[in-house]
Structures are given as C-alpha cells and as structure tokens.
Amino acid sequence: MSRLSDYRLLCFDVYGTLIDWEGGILAALAPMLVRNNAQFSREELLTVYHEFESEQQRLTPDMPYSQLLSTIHPRLAQRLGLVTTSEESKQFGDSVGRWPAFPDTVDALRRLSKHYKLVVLSNVDRASFAQSNAGSLQGFPFDLTITAQDIGSYKPDQRNFKHMIKAVQADFGVEPSQILQTAQSQFHDHQLARKVGIKSVWIERPGATMGNQEDPIFDWRFDTLGEMASALEQEE
C-alpha cells in the first residue's frame, strides 16, 4: 500500500479546497437577497448556482471565470424570482478574489511544501486567482499555477488534466504516478483524476455540497488540508 510520502507533487483545486468557495458565493449573493427581502436555504442557492455555473462552463469554455459569474447572475436571479441589476451582476463576478481561505490552508501549504511540489489547477481566470493569492492565501509561492483561462476549458474537461500532466513532466520531471490530485469536488477533480490515472486525496470539507456525487472516488480522505499535512508528518 502506498503512502502519502511516496508522491512528489500535489495538484490543487483551489476554490472549495483551499478557499471557501461555497461561503464566498453565498456572501456574494447576499446583496441581491437583502435587496429583494428574500430567504433561501444554503442548499437551494448552491444547487441553482452549481447548475448554472456548470452549464455556462460547457457552453463557453473560453470565457474568463469572473465574466462567467457575471453572466449567470441574472439568470440565477430569474430562476429564484428575484430582481437584480447589471452592477450587482458585475460585483458578483468581481467577488472571487475576496473569497476567504479556510483557516488551516496557509499553514498546511507551508508544511506540505517541505515534501511536495505544489501546483494549482483551478477553474478560474488569471486575474481572479492572482487576487486570491495576494489576499487570503497570503502570497503563498506555488511552484506552478494553471488556470482554466490558460487552457481554454474548464474541469471536468480532460484537457485540463492532460495539460497539467504535460506541464509538470516538462517543468519538474514528475510523472503521473507521482502526482496526488488534492481537492474537494468529486465532479470537477476526483472522477477525472481516476480516468487519467492519477491518485487523489479528498479534502471533504465539513458541510460542503457542491461537486459531491453519490459514489465518491478517492485514495485518501481528510476533513481539512491541515489533517493531511499532519498525516504526512506522521509518516516521515
């Protein structure tokens, strides 16, 4: 049986794994909900959001993520029976860089970086990730950053994983068998990692719902990235 310490590189999904994707979305929707005096459950809002986000990513794979969020915002409002404005939609798209990191994230990244190369493979645009990295990720120095904008498609498209595999082979001499896809979303990451022959670590953030599927696939599972870092340290 392989151990965490047998691998050389962690490939991260950022939003949902390192950054509180769901909390950030809900906070960004709050102005519209308040103005409409509307109340919906967390599950209702995130289910509708995920439906529209995934559909738009399939329809416009080359659209930058911030623009994509602005595009789906009025449709989401319409589905919920709410009224919104173009300014609110723009602010929703611009919110990505302000979404908060999970409390354990930065310390865990520092601990994991002592053993692994750390690579970002994220479904966002370059500008949004740069804002997140400079903000709640405290300028953490990842070894390589790849965004959907760089590739022209969004996960779960296999092109994203194939692009990453080729890049880490060229830059670091790391083979697929030495990579651990480290992510929360089954839909975006774990299912595809298995298809391209990469082992995965499921960071199953407590209460997270978006990207979950009935039959989860993973090789290791932890509630937080901090728990994963502790497990690695116990091996070494």
CATH number of the domain that 230 lies in? 3.40.50.1000
pTM as predicted: 0.94
Domain assignment of residue 77, given as a range: 21-98
Indicate the number of domains in the chain.
Answer: 2
Residues 75, 94 share a domain: yes
Of the candidates 142, 116, 98, 125, the residue with the CA atom closest to the CA atom of residue 5: 116
Token pair, residue 181, equals 């896809």
pLDDT of residue 32: 96
62 is catalytic: no
Residues 230, 185 share a domain: yes
Cα dihedral 95, 97, 101, 105 in deg (nearest 10) = 160
Of 6, 13, 94, 104, the catalytic one is 13
SS3 track for 156-224: CCHHHHHHHHHHHHHHHCCCHHHEEEEECCHHHHHHHHHHCCCEEEEECCCCCCCCCCCCCCCCEEECC
Q: What is the mean pLDDT of each run of 10 residues along the chain (236 residues)?
A: 94 96 96 95 94 96 96 97 95 96 98 98 96 97 97 96 98 98 95 95 91 90 98 95
pLDDT of residue 210: 82
